[in-house]
């Protein structure tokens, strides 16, 4: 990409690092749901943040659990679990499943469906995830884990992004 033009023209090749692929919503193909969430530009701060102050200003920590009203200070505001980063390992997820932090309960929702059910099974599975999530929230569960661990022979998972998005919008 760079060396061949340099050898043939004896000049440095011009190029850019941009992504010129069409947006997923304008694509002629059927992109995966993840394609709709690509960032198309580099985000920078102005003024730039130096490495010494970066840890003070930026954080990967993720609070999870019920969020209390910030306008009404109470003890409920400190009842959240703080994860050091948004990437969870299997042992981390297993800890959350067995969680008993401040009496919280965790509900695991299966996001798999039978392969032979096809598209109807896919849509029914998403509807079922939403109904189960609503019942769990109504029953006092503070954490809901969506899981595709039952995927295997004859069972395929729904897209985790689609399942999570559907459940989120159903609950709000």
Quick one: pLDDT at residue 12?
77
Q: Which element (helix H / strand E) includes 92? A: helix 90-97
Give a yes or no: residue 32 inside a domain: no
Work out how many domains the chain is built from and give that number.
1
The token pair at 124 is 């029914």
Instruction: Summarize pLDDT for 59-110 with one digit per residue, the tens.
Output: 888 888 777 888 888 877 777 888 888 888 999 889 888 888 788 889 999 9
Weakest mean pLDDT among 57-66, 129-138, 141-150: 57-66
Query: Cβ contacts of residue 121 below 8 Å, gap of 6+?
Result: 113, 114, 115
Look up residue 47 and give its DSSP letter: S
Give a yes or no: residue 115 inside a domain: yes
Q: Which element (helix H / strand E) includes 156? A: strand 155-157
Q: Are 115 and 79 in contact (CB under 8 A)?
A: no
Instruction: Summarize pLDDT for 8-56 with one digit per residue, the tens.
Output: 888 877 766 666 677 777 878 888 887 777 766 667 777 778 888 887 7
Query: Cβ contacts of residue 113 below 8 Å, gap of 6+?
Result: 121, 122, 124, 125, 155, 156, 158
State mean pLDDT over 119-136: 97
Give a yes or no: residue 154 inside a domain: yes
Give a yes or no: residue 48 inside a domain: no
Quick one: pLDDT at residue 41?
67
Give a yes or no: residue 75 inside a domain: no
Give a yes or no: residue 152 inside a domain: yes
Per-residue pLDDT for 4 more than 70? yes
Give a yes or no: residue 22 inside a domain: no
Give a yes or no: residue 25 inside a domain: no
Which residues constitute the domain of residue 112? 88-171
- Listed residue (51, 11, 37, 75) closest to 162, CA to CA: 37
């Amino acid at each position: 990409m760079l060396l061949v033009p340099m050898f043939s023209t004896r000049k440095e090749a011009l190029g850019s690092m941009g992504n010129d692929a069409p947006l997923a919503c304008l694509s002629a193909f059927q992109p995966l749901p993840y394609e709709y969430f690509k960032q198309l530009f580099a985000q920078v701060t102005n003024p730039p943040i130096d490495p010494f102050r970066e840890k003070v200003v930026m954080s990967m920590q993720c609070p999870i659990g019920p969020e209390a009203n910030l306008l009404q200070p109470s003890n409920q505001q400190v009842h959240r679990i703080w994860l050091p980063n948004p990437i969870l390992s299997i042992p981390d997820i297993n800890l959350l499943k067995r969680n008993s932090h401040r009496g919280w309960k965790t509900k695991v929702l299966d996001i798999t469906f039978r392969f032979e059910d096809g598209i109807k099974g896919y849509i029914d599975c998403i509807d079922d995830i939403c109904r189960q999530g609503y019942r769990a929230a109504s029953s006092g569960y503070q954490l809901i884990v969506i899981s595709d661990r039952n995927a295997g022979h004859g069972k395929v998972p729904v897209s985790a992004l689609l399942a999570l998005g559907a459940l989120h919008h159903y609950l709000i």
